[in-house]
């Protein structure tokens, strides 16, 4: 998985978090597959199509927090992730 400080787009802009679809019991293979990029300041009450319940790994950048909910529309239990 990339280090939190290394989360950047190809043009060098900062990324707040990256979620990955593929999972593995081996740490060096867990950040693989499709990637969902979360831009700084994003407020998304619904997961994009095909991502609901699919994220298996995530990396949160430095100076960022990722808040997730167990139900759509920011309902249910919440969990906060940081670098």
pLDDT tens-digit map of 37-82:
999 999 988 888 888 888 888 999 999 999 999 888 899 999 999 9
Task: Let me know: does 73 contact 34? Beta carbons within 8 Å.
Answer: no
Please check whether residue 34 lies inside any domain of the structure.
Answer: yes
Q: Is residue 51 in a domain?
A: yes
Whether residue 77 is contained in a domain is answered as yes
Residue 32 placed within a domain: yes
Domain encompassing residue 64? 17-82
User: Would residue 7 count as lying in a domain?
Assistant: no
| Average confidence (pLDDT) over 14-34 | 86
Cβ neighbours of residue 48 closer than 8 Å, sequence gap 6 or more: 36
pLDDT at position 17, please?
A: 95
For the chain, how many structural domains are there in total?
Answer: 1
Query: Are 17 and 59 spatial neighbours (Cβ–Cβ below 8 Å)?
Result: yes
- pLDDT at position 3 is 92
Q: Give a yes or no: residue 8 inside a domain.
A: no
């Amino acid at each position: 998985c990339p280090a939190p400080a290394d989360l950047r787009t190809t043009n060098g802009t900062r990324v707040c978090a990256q979620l990955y679809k593929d999972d593995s019991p081996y740490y060096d293979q867990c950040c693989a597959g499709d990637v969902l990029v979360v831009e700084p300041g994003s407020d998304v009450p619904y997961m994009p199509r095909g991502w609901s319940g699919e994220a298996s790994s995530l990396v949160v950048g430095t100076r960022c927090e990722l808040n997730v909910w167990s139900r759509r529309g920011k309902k249910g239990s919440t969990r906060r992730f940081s670098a």
